[in-house]
Amino acid sequence: MTDGDEPESWLVVYADGSVVEDHPARTALRRGMSAVTVTGRDRECSGEYFMDFDDDVDPGHGSYLVTATLRCLGLTVRPGGAVALVRASRSGQAGIVLHQAGADGRVPADATQTSVVRDWPGPAWAERAWVLDLPDDSPRTEWPVNAALRALGVDRGDSPDEATALGLSLPS
C-alpha cells in the first residue's frame, strides 16, 4: 500500500472503555474516543504471530491481524466492545473493525472473519476490510479510515468527515 519508504501511520481507535487495559501511549481523541499508535516494533511483533499460527486458524482474516496487533500492544477488547485498526499514507488507506462477542459469546451467524490469535479471550469477528489506493474520485467520507470509524460508531456531525470529527488528519 505504500511506495518505497513512504511513511504509513497505523492506529488502533476505540471508544473509551472498549478495551480492558490503558495503554501508556493512548491519545485521547474527541467524542469519547481514544487511539494508540502502532509502532514499527508492534508491527514486527504482529508479524511474528503469522509465522507461528495454529493449523486450524486462517491468518488471512482481518480478525487475526487485529487481534495479533492488539496482543502486541497489550490490549484486550471488552465483551461487546469494538476497535478499528486503520492505516493511512499519501498513497492509500485501509481500515477494519473488530467486534468482541458479548458476555453470552454469541457471534452473528453471517460473521466470516472469526480467526483470532491463540489465547484471545473469547470469540470475535471482523467486518470486511476497506482498502483504497489514493487518489480516488470517491468522496473523502467514503475513504477507508472514515468508513471504519463510521462502522465503529463515530458520528461526524458538522465535521467534513469522521477522522476530522475525532481530531485526526488524513494524508491526501
| Dist. CA 20–CA 157, nearest whole Å | 28
Q: Report the 10 Å Cβ neighbour count for 48.
A: 10
Which range is least confidently modeled, 40-49, 59-68, 131-140, 156-165? Answer: 131-140
Alpha helices in the chain (DSSP H): 40-51, 62-73, 144-151, 162-166
Task: Please report which confidence band the pLDDT of residue 1 belongs to, taking 50, 70 and 90 as the band edges.
Answer: very low
Within a domain: 2: no
Looking at the domain assignment, is residue 98 inside a domain?
yes
Spatial CA neighbour of 151 closest among 84, 89, 106: 84
Tell whether 152 is covered by a domain: yes
1 lies in some domain: no
Residue with cell 476497535: 83
Tens of pLDDT, residue by residue over 54-111, are 777 777 788 999 999 999 999 999 999 999 999 998 888 999 999 999 999 999 999 9
* Residue range 14-56, pLDDT digits in tens: 999 999 998 999 999 999 999 999 999 999 999 998 888 777 7
Taking the CB of residue 159, how many other CB atoms lie within 10 A of it?
Answer: 16
Q: How many domains does the chain have?
A: 1
- Supply the pLDDT for residue 5: 61
Within a domain: 3: no
- Enclosing domain of residue 110: 9-166
Would you say residue 171 lies in a domain?
Answer: no
Q: 172 lies in a domain?
A: no
* 114 assigned to some structural domain: yes
